A and B are shown apart, each in its own frame.
Chain A
């Protein structure tokens, strides 16, 4: 299977995300330097890098939460600042589970939040919205907990509810920023299988930020490695042969799953 070049478009379809020469600083601290990459439809991209390497910052620049000091970001071929169809993007922030545990919202309400955020989704009928909520909760296996307060769920269950919220508008593109921090290994495994299913069965393009490459590799199709600059961006298999992974993992050997 031939992949399109990293910075090009597949056929005449524009890449879902195109980052062109982006630099970003917090004050005098340079966090991103001349980062360019593109994300195509169907990708399952792992965005890797050590703590403080700028992964979260890059995601926030892509999502127009931060404005780059140099460079540009395109979403579906449109400049991020002018992009309007935000319901096409799902986002689970890194600190999603750091909310006030006493916040009074049921799992169902957390998912429903996203259903009036743009004009396009607000137009859905109430019945359609309820159906979308149920489908999203079922997909992540949380429908039976729909009426429980979000603060009383376990960290892994909360993350699944946040994913349900991110996918309830039926987005084509999903950003997850370290969604499994503080989740036990077995739950993580099932969690990544869920992401794999969303990617292959639902056709959702996934960007997964993590510094744990070990567990995700069987689902990941592409890898981007960040440490202020983009160190590597390409196919997962090539990444495993490039040795960058070993460098990142501190020499720990990783098995590549070939399909």
Chain B
């Protein structure tokens, strides 16, 4: 198996992109879960679907068009949530279904990219191109870096928003930051596990990290460890068993989550 990685460039690319992207998803995921914002990943993935369809229709790199559309969608969700006084996940539900609607219409009207779209829906990390790998790694580093820079302030407002505001934390600016970063990670994660499973990358490693954590730091580190292990184990298992990489990575993450969950309940 190690031989295979050393040997095949496509495996190396998948592994490199996967490790960086999963890391960004895990770090951000811990904040999203504790903000009770887990559904935003799911909603934004559908918006990203529209973005991919736009890219394929007009001939842009789908990763870029999805990035633009998702970030716009994320800001739209935030604005709609604030201004219309909508309850809970209403804004997310609206944007996610409209995203799907636009994607479906574009896909059927232009009618010639159903195979490509399939890859975006279910993930096709083994087919990731060198340019996409570079872009993904750069964006993942940007996400992790921005979270690290604002770590304590984000933690403060996640734990106690009002006290954070009084302490001078710019909570609305940081809301926007988290939302935009969620959009970026969703698009990145889409490259690995596909639109239909990308929420798993945000939620499962984070949930696993939260199982046994006695501190926030350990929750984040645990989530990262689970994310990285799932990518490595998932990719190798997929290669050996000739399974689709996306589903295998998600299952590996779920398995690790399950183990930690059971350990916590017994210990």
Do residues A91 and B215 form an inter-chain contact, with CB atoms below 8 A? Answer: no
In the assembled complex, the CB of A60 is this many whole angstroms from the nearest CB of chain B, namely 8
Enumerate A81-102 residues with CB–CB distance to B below 8 Å: 84, 86-87, 89, 91-93, 96, 99-100, 102
The reply to whether the CB of B85 lies closer than 8 angstroms to some CB of chain A is no
The CA-CA distance from A85 to B151 in the complex, in Å, is 21
The CA-CA distance from A105 to B150 in the complex, in Å, is 16
Flag the segment in B101-109, B216-224, B255-263 that touches A. Answer: B216-224
Some 13 contacts from A to B, beta carbons below 8 A apart, are A60-B162, A65-B165, A96-B163, A100-B34, A104-B34, A104-B210, A105-B215, A110-B159, A113-B153, A113-B164, A117-B156, A147-B215, A169-B167
In the assembled complex, the CB of B264 is this many whole angstroms from the nearest CB of chain A, namely 11
Residues in chain B near residue A65, CB distance under 8 A: 162, 165-166
Residues in chain B near residue A149, CB distance under 8 A: 213-215
In the assembled complex, the CB of A204 is this many whole angstroms from the nearest CB of chain B, namely 16
In the assembled complex, the CB of A64 is this many whole angstroms from the nearest CB of chain B, namely 8
- Where chain B touches its partner, the secondary structure class is helix
Please report the total number of A residues contacting B with Cβ < 8 Å: 35
The CA-CA distance from A92 to B156 in the complex, in Å, is 13
Do residues B215 and A109 form an inter-chain contact, with CB atoms below 8 A? Answer: yes
The CA-CA distance from A112 to B34 in the complex, in Å, is 18
Do residues B168 and A104 form an inter-chain contact, with CB atoms below 8 A? Answer: no
The reply to whether the CB of A118 lies closer than 8 angstroms to some CB of chain B is yes
The reply to whether the CB of A116 lies closer than 8 angstroms to some CB of chain B is yes
Find B214's partner among A64, A91, A104, A118 (CB 8 Å cutoff). A104
The reply to whether the CB of A3 lies closer than 8 angstroms to some CB of chain B is no
The CA-CA distance from A91 to B164 in the complex, in Å, is 9
The reply to whether the CB of A115 lies closer than 8 angstroms to some CB of chain B is yes
A103-B159, A117-B168 given. 17 additional CB < 8 A pairs?
Answer: A63-B166, A65-B166, A86-B167, A86-B168, A89-B166, A91-B166, A96-B163, A104-B213, A104-B214, A105-B155, A105-B159, A112-B152, A115-B152, A117-B153, A117-B156, A117-B167, A147-B214
The reply to whether the CB of A106 lies closer than 8 angstroms to some CB of chain B is yes
Residues in chain A near residue B216, CB distance under 8 A: 104-106, 109
Residue of B nearest to A171 (CB): B167
Which of the listed residues B153, B160, B168, B214 has the most CB atoms from chain A within 10 Å of its own CB? B168
Residue of B nearest to A100 (CB): B34
The reply to whether the CB of B233 lies closer than 8 angstroms to some CB of chain A is no
The CA-CA distance from A148 to B218 in the complex, in Å, is 12
Do residues A86 and B166 form an inter-chain contact, with CB atoms below 8 A? Answer: yes
The reply to whether the CB of B139 lies closer than 8 angstroms to some CB of chain A is no
In the assembled complex, the CB of A1 is this many whole angstroms from the nearest CB of chain B, namely 32
Residues in chain A near residue B210, CB distance under 8 A: 102, 104
The reply to whether the CB of B238 lies closer than 8 angstroms to some CB of chain A is no
Residues in chain A near residue B215, CB distance under 8 A: 104-106, 108-109, 147, 149
Residues of A within 8 A of B (CB): 60, 63-65, 84, 86-87, 89, 91-93, 96, 99-100, 102-106, 108-110, 112-118, 147-149, 162, 165, 169
Residues in chain A near residue B156, CB distance under 8 A: 113-114, 116-117
Residue of B nearest to A118 (CB): B168
The reply to whether the CB of B169 lies closer than 8 angstroms to some CB of chain A is yes
Residues in chain B near residue A102, CB distance under 8 A: 210
Residue interface mask B158-182, A partner, CB < 8 A = 1:
0110111111110000000000000
Do residues A93 and B168 form an inter-chain contact, with CB atoms below 8 A? Answer: no
Residue of B nearest to A114 (CB): B167
Do residues A113 and B168 form an inter-chain contact, with CB atoms below 8 A? Answer: no
Ranked nearest first, the 9 interchain pairs of A and B with the lowest CB-CB distance are A86-B168, A113-B156, A104-B213, A118-B168, A117-B167, A106-B215, A116-B152, A104-B219, A91-B166
If A105-B215, A105-B216 touch, whether A91 touches B163 (CB-CB below 8 Å) is yes
In the assembled complex, the CB of A109 is this many whole angstroms from the nearest CB of chain B, namely 5
Find A96's partner among B34, B160, B168, B169 (CB 8 Å cutoff). B160
The CA-CA distance from A112 to B159 in the complex, in Å, is 12
The CA-CA distance from A112 to B214 in the complex, in Å, is 15
Do residues B155 and A109 form an inter-chain contact, with CB atoms below 8 A? Answer: yes
Enumerate B244-267 residues with CB–CB distance to A below 8 Å: none
Residue interface mask B13-26, A partner, CB < 8 A = 1:
00000000000000
In the assembled complex, the CB of B162 is this many whole angstroms from the nearest CB of chain A, namely 6
The CA-CA distance from A84 to B170 in the complex, in Å, is 11
The CA-CA distance from A85 to B68 in the complex, in Å, is 37
In the assembled complex, the CB of B85 is this many whole angstroms from the nearest CB of chain A, namely 13
Residue of A nearest to B219 (CB): A104
